[in-house]
Amino acid sequence: MQTQDFVDLESQYGAHNYRPLDVVIERAEGVWVYDVDGKRYLDCLAAYSAVNQGHCHPKILRTLEEQARKVTLTSRAFRNDQLPLLCKDLHDLTGFDMVLPMNSGTEAVESAIKVARKWGYKVKGIPQDQAEVIVCANNFHGRTVTIVGFSTDEHYRDGFGPFAPGFKVIPYGDAEALRSAITPNTCAFLVEPIQGEAGILIPPAGFLREAAEICRQNRVLLMTDEIQSGLGRTGKLFAYMHEEITPDVLIVGKALAGGFYPVSAVLASREILGVITPGDHGSTFGGNPLGCAIARTALRVLIEEKMVEQSADLGAYFLSRLQSLRSPAIKEIRGKGLWIGIELHGKARPYCEALMHEGILCKETHDHVIRIGPPLVVKREELDWAFERIAKVTATSQ
Ligand X SMILES: *Cc1c(COP(=O)(O)O)cnc(C)c1O
Contacts to ligand X by CB under 6 A: 48, 104-106, 109, 140-142, 192, 196, 225, 227-228, 253-254
From the candidates 96, 140, 150, 318, which is the catalytic residue?
A: 140
> Judged by CB, which is closer to ligand X: 94, or 224?
224
* Residue 140: active-site member: yes
CB of 359 to ligand X, least distance (A): 26
> Judged by CB, which is closer to ligand X: 257, or 393?
257
From the candidates 254, 260, 336, 363, which is the catalytic residue?
A: 254
Return the DSSP state at 133.
Answer: E
3-state secondary structure of 59: helix
> Judged by CB, which is closer to ligand X: 64, or 112?
112
**Phi, psi angle pair for 289, to nearest 5°:** -65, -35
CB of 59 to ligand X, least distance (A): 23
> Judged by CB, which is closer to ligand X: 35, or 315?
315
C-alpha dihedral (364, 113, 92, 71), degrees to nearest 10: -80
C-alpha dihedral (39, 50, 73, 77), degrees to nearest 10: -160
Residue nearest to ligand X (CB): 105
**Phi, psi angle pair for 241, to nearest 5°:** -70, -20
CB of 298 to ligand X, least distance (A): 15
Strand arrangement of the beta sheet that strand 330-335 belongs to: 330-335, 340-344, 369-372, 363-365
User: Which secondary-structure segment (H or E) carries 291?
Assistant: helix 289-304
> Judged by CB, which is closer to ligand X: 53, or 228?
228
**Contact between 313 and 377 (Cβ < 8 Å):** no
CB of 212 to ligand X, least distance (A): 18
* Residue 225: active-site member: yes
**Contact between 172 and 193 (Cβ < 8 Å):** no
The residue count of the chain comes to 398
Decide: residue 121, CB within 10 A, 0-12 exposed, 13-18 middle, 19+ buried.
Answer: middle
CB of 69 to ligand X, least distance (A): 26
From the candidates 89, 174, 225, 248, which is the catalytic residue?
A: 225
Angle at 206 between CA 204 and CA 207, to 5 degrees: 65
- Catalytic residue IDs: 140, 225, 254
